[in-house]
Amino acid sequence: MNVPRELRYTKEHEWIKVEGGEAVVGVTDYAQGELGDVIFVELPAPGTRVAQMKAFGTIDAVKTVSDLFAPVTGEIVAVNGALKDDPALVNRSPYKDGWMVRIRLESPAEVNALLSADDYEKSLGAHA
- Residues of this chain that interact with another protein (CB under 8 A) are 36-37, 39-40, 42, 60-65, 87-88
Looking at the Cβ atoms of 60 and 121, the one nearer to another protein is 60
Looking at the Cβ atoms of 6 and 85, the one nearer to another protein is 85
68 vs 45: CA distance, rounded Å? 14
Please report how close the Cβ of residue 39 comes to another protein at its closest, in angstroms: 4
Let me know: does 50 contact 23? Beta carbons within 8 Å.
no
Looking at the Cβ atoms of 50 and 61, the one nearer to another protein is 61
16 vs 14: CA distance, rounded Å? 7
Please report how close the Cβ of residue 94 comes to another protein at its closest, in angstroms: 16
Residue 45 backbone phi and psi in degrees, to 5? -75, 150
Please report how close the Cβ of residue 37 comes to another protein at its closest, in angstroms: 3
61 vs 114: CA distance, rounded Å? 26
Helices and strands (H, E) in the chain, number of each type: 4, 9
Looking at the Cβ atoms of 65 and 113, the one nearer to another protein is 65
